């Protein structure tokens, strides 16, 4: 490992308040670090994701980034993209009209816009891939049972259990309301038997959602549970919202035009988060989609590794 001092920052993402949202570690000046070293550092931070920032391959892109969980690398993730965009924009100075920057990620180039909104810093990014539906063989009641839900608690309106992929796969599980969402507990062994694989033997994660919400301006209330051998709940999941855009298109059939949808997450964990999904619909089909949210710096320092 290259023994030198590297700047790091901790941001809380998809919130405008510290100690809420989804925490993210960002390590700067990472040229020269190899994959094994990045994985060790991500394990040291032990957050859901750690971003490693390096020089871009092409100018005038802002940076090339790699995203790691404590156990593996991800091609794309939402809260690392939002948090890194805010970090780089703040380091470079946000102009009065905001900043536009491009991050080179494993999934491809991701365009981000950063601006000051509501007294905080807000970033949104264009989805590098539009959501696509995946095959799901498991019956809805089987999916519900793996989440501790009874059959009558699954589904609402015309929303049914489905699987979607916009860079990272998820099983979307609609539930009747907040009471059903609050009781969810994922049975890891049962889930691995029914969920599609996301790679490396890891099952796709579960995204549980309902129309009922705690905030009056939220269109949906959501929870996300990872499908790996060590299951945990995530307080704010941009890649899941990217996949969820496909379910919104399939089940809500929004008319042509631009649609802005706020989703609340992390409530049950005591880390309330707000994520914004924007979908541009043309000819009944999604033409583009974006995900955005605020991010707040909560710590910074030097990494001696």
Q: Could you say which of 49, 105, 124, 233 is catalytic? A: 49
Whether the Cβ atoms of residue 155 and residue 174 lie closer than 8 Å to each other: yes
Q: Is 157 a catalytic residue?
A: no
| Distance of alpha carbon 248 from alpha carbon 241, whole angstroms | 10
Q: 3-state class of 62 per DSSP?
A: coil
Note whether 223 and 241 are within 8 A (CB).
no
The encoded tokens of residue 243 equal: 């996949």
Cα separation, 19 vs 14, whole angstroms: 11
- b/e sequence 52-64, b meaning 16+ C-beta within 10 Å: bbbebeeeebbbb
Element at 249 (helix H, strand E): helix 238-252
| 237-260 per-residue burial string, b: 16 or more CB within 10 A, e: under 16 | bbbbbbbbbbbbbbebeeeeeebe
Could you give the CA distance from residue 20 to residue 8 in angstroms, rounded to a whole number? 19
For residue 273, the SS3 value is strand
Long-range Cβ pairs for the range 188-195 (8 Å, 24+):
188/227, 188/228, 188/229, 188/231, 190/145, 190/146, 191/146, 191/147, 191/227, 191/231, 192/227, 194/137, 194/138, 194/142, 194/143, 194/146, 195/138, 195/171, 195/227
Residue positions annotated with a catalytic role: 49
């Amino acid at each position: 490992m290259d023994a030198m001092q590297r700047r790091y920052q901790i941001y809380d993402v998809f919130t405008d308040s510290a100690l809420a949202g989804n925490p993210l570690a960002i390590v700067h000046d990472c040229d020269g670090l190899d994959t094994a070293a990045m994985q060790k550092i991500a394990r040291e931070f032990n957050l859901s994701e750690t971003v490693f920032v390096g020089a871009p391959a092409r100018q005038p892109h802002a940076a090339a980034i790699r995203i790691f969980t404590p156990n593996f690398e991800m091609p794309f993730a939402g809260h690392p993209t939002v948090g890194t965009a805010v970090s780089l924009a703040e380091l470079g100075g946000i102009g009065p009209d905001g900043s536009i920057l491009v991050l080179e990620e494993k999934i491809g180039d991701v365009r981000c816009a950063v601006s000051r909104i509501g007294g905080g810093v807000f970033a949104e990014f264009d989805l590098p891939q539009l959501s696509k539906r995946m095959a799901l063989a498991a019956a809805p009641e089987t999916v519900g049972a793996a989440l501790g839900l009874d059959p009558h608690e699954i589904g609402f309106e015309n929303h049914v259990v489905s699987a979607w992929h916009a860079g990272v796969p998820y099983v979307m599980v609609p539930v009747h309301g907040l009471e059903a969402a609050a009781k969810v507990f994922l049975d890891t062994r049962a889930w691995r038997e029914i969920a599609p694989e996301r790679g490396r033997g890891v099952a796709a994660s579960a995204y549980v959602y309902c129309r009922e919400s705690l905030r009056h301006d939220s269109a949906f209330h959501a929870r996300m549970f990872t499908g790996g051998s060590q299951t945990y709940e995530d307080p704010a999941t941009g890649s899941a919202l990217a996949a969820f855009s496909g379910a919104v298109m399939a089940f809500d059939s929004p008319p042509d035009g631009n649609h802005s949808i706020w989703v609340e997450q992390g409530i049950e964990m005591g880390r309330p988060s707000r994520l914004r999904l924007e979908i541009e619909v043309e000819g009944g089909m999604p033409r583009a989609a974006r995900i955005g949210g605020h991010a707040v710096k909560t710590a910074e320092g030097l990494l001696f590794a």
